[in-house]
Amino acid sequence: MSVRVRIAPSPTGNLHIGTARTAVFNWLFARHQGGTFVLRIEDTDLERSRPEYTQNILDGLTWLGLTWDEGPTFQTKRMDLYRQKVQQLLDQGLAYRAYDTPEELNAIREAQKAQGQAPRYDNRHRDLTPEQEAAYIAEGRKPVIRFKIDDEREIAWQDLVRGTVTWKGRDLGGDMVIARAADADDIGQPLYNFVVVVDDIDMQISHVIRGEDHIGNTPKQILLYEALGATVPQFGHTPLILNQAGAKLSKRDGVTSISDFQKMGYTAEALANYMTLLGWSPPEGMNEIFSLEEAAQHFSFERVNKAGAKFDWDKLNWINSQYLHHLPVEQLTDLLIPYWQSAGYELDPVGDRAWLEQLSALIAPSLVRLEDAVAMTRYLFVADVGFTDAAANQLKLPGVGTALQSILTGLKTTELTPDTAQSLIQQGVEAAKVKKGVVMKSLRAALTGDLQGPELVPSWLLLNQHQIDQPRLRQALAVAESSS
Ligand code: GLU
């Protein structure tokens, strides 16, 4: 049997990390098995589905490297097939039209609630006589189509993650609606649990791998497979992603969509790596930093945990920094340029290329996210960086003005290199008769406006290449002199 899996997102929001993680597991399994990964867009909720969400989902999956082999297929384009299958169940007597009004259904629920029972449809329209039907139609009632569920059935499957799962027919809420209300001689819009099954049969899906939140749909869907005369696929329900409080990660937890993670400067490789670890443990001896291809070689559901996976920002940050620290400088520069540009920093991506690469190499060891580069390198891009209070206080210390003046004077006749930079610092030390540490700290304050930041001499060289170092030293001298 060839392995065929699918990811079936609903375009009612941007690509969510939970859906993306389900896509990762499907992709890994497909690649491990040499199978096929299918993309299906479940856009039957016409009110909430939007083309821009579909685009966001396609872009996000592509960015993460979760390439699909077939699709995207859109459910809204397949309504004829679904209606045909509803008709088939009606013809076989496995489904029927139910004419209950919303008020009647509500009354059933209220009565059940009053008796402390779980709400369920009591199947009262399962065996209407033709006369009863005719009377309801004459009243103008619009029927839904319900699929018969046998209360006595026990439904069991071997879940790839959870082992044996069993469910009782009577716990499924009574005969289920598979198509919305329509005129009595028509079929209304077929609903989620039904169309998923029709599609999974039609697309010959061998393994349905999806989030644990779908587990309650599976018994109903198994009954539909049987009714439609199809082989039941294997199911695997992957653990949910939880917030720190142990609840399902939701929009209220802030960043949850893949495009937000992307904007913040997580790399696709790091995010895919982290999402894989959210629920899957690599085999012993395998490094925690791996590509999707490497994970695919070792992937199996035996190593997928049953328990929910807590989202851990520290871990994600650590993984991202590992990727950023090891990226070739050309690639890192390509990734950073858009962040600098969107911060409004003026740069010429072609003319400044060598300078930008030196800068990327300088900050690479301190980057956790690409976005960090914006604040970290501000002193290199803006003309008037300003001085923090700590920097200004440093500049006002005794001897600092003298040291900086000596460096500035020397600079005017010296070509700055790593070696001449050291000699100029030494000249400053001698001119002001202060410790080298004081000069270094003051020079940093003068050149960058702060006491912390990337390495001093390479920063100075970069500023020098753009002729910003002398004006900065002059500004700093004005601050230093203001104290005397
Ligand atoms: N469309 C469903 C969702 O976005 C997925 C359905 C499934 O995987 O069976 O949650």
Domain-embedded: residue 124? yes
Domain-embedded: residue 349? yes
Q: How many helices (H) and strands (E) does the chain have?
A: 21, 12
Domain check: are 112 and 259 in the same one?
no
User: In this predicted structure, what is the pLDDT of residue 483?
Assistant: 67
The residue whose CA is least distant from atom 4 of ligand 1 is 9
Find the 294 Cα to ligand 1 centroid distance in Å.
27
Domain-embedded: residue 294? yes
Domain check: are 397 and 451 in the same one?
yes
Domain check: are 62 and 157 in the same one?
no
Domain check: are 25 and 96 in the same one?
no
Residue in 41, 42, 56, 213 to alter for ligand 1 test, most ligand atoms within 8 A of Cβ: 42
User: In this predicted structure, what is the pLDDT of residue 484?
Assistant: 57
Domain-embedded: residue 381? no
CATH number at residue 295: 1.10.1160.10
Spot the catalytic one: 168, 251, 306, 435.
251
Instruction: Among 153, 176, 192, give the residue marking a domain's end.
Output: 192
Residue 405: which of 464, 449, 470, 460 has the closest Cα? Answer: 470
Residue in 61, 210, 218 to alter for ligand 1 test, most ligand atoms within 8 A of Cβ: 210
The residue whose CA is least distant from atom 5 of ligand 1 is 8
Residue ranges lining ligand 1, Cβ < 6 Å: 8-10, 19, 42, 196, 210, 214
The residue whose CA is least distant from atom 10 of ligand 1 is 9
Domain check: are 96 and 187 in the same one?
yes
Domain check: are 53 and 85 in the same one?
no
User: In this predicted structure, what is the pLDDT of residue 252?
Assistant: 81
Domain-embedded: residue 245? no
Instruction: Among 192, 210, 231, give the residue marking a domain's end.
Output: 192
Find the 215 Cα to ligand 1 centroid distance in Å.
11
Question: In terms of residue numbers, what domain contains 301?
Answer: 251-325
CATH number at residue 369: 1.10.8
Domain-embedded: residue 415? yes
CATH number at residue 211: 3.40.50.620
Q: State the pTM of this model.
A: 0.92
Find the 206 Cα to ligand 1 centroid distance in Å.
16
**Spans of the chain, pLDDT less than 70:** 483-484
282 touches 295 (CB < 8 A)? yes
SS3 assignment, position 16: strand
SS3 assignment, position 473: helix
Q: Report in angstroms the alpha-carbon separations of 160 from 2, 155, 293, 309, 471.
A: 17, 16, 21, 17, 66
Decide if 310 is catalytic. no
For 80-116, give one letter per residue: b (16+ CB within 10 A) or e.
eebbebbeebbeeeebbbbbbeeeeeeebeeeeeeee
Domain check: are 42 and 84 in the same one?
no
Find the 9 Cα to ligand 1 centroid distance in Å.
6
Domain check: are 93 and 148 in the same one?
yes
Domain check: are 301 and 401 in the same one?
no
**Number of independent structural domains in the chain:** 5
Q: If you count them, how many residues does the chain have?
A: 484
Domain check: are 415 and 461 in the same one?
yes
Distance separating the N- and C-terminal Cα atoms of the chain: 85
Instruction: Among 314, 344, 374, give the residue marking a domain's end.
Output: 374
Domain-embedded: residue 255? yes
Domain check: are 33 and 122 in the same one?
no
CATH number at residue 95: 3.90.800.10
Domain check: are 11 and 28 in the same one?
yes
Q: Is 412 a known ligand-binding residue? A: no
Alpha carbon distance 472, 469 (integer Å): 5
Rounded to 10°, the helix 400-412/418-432 angle is 140
Domain-embedded: residue 382? no
The residue whose CA is least distant from atom 6 of ligand 1 is 8
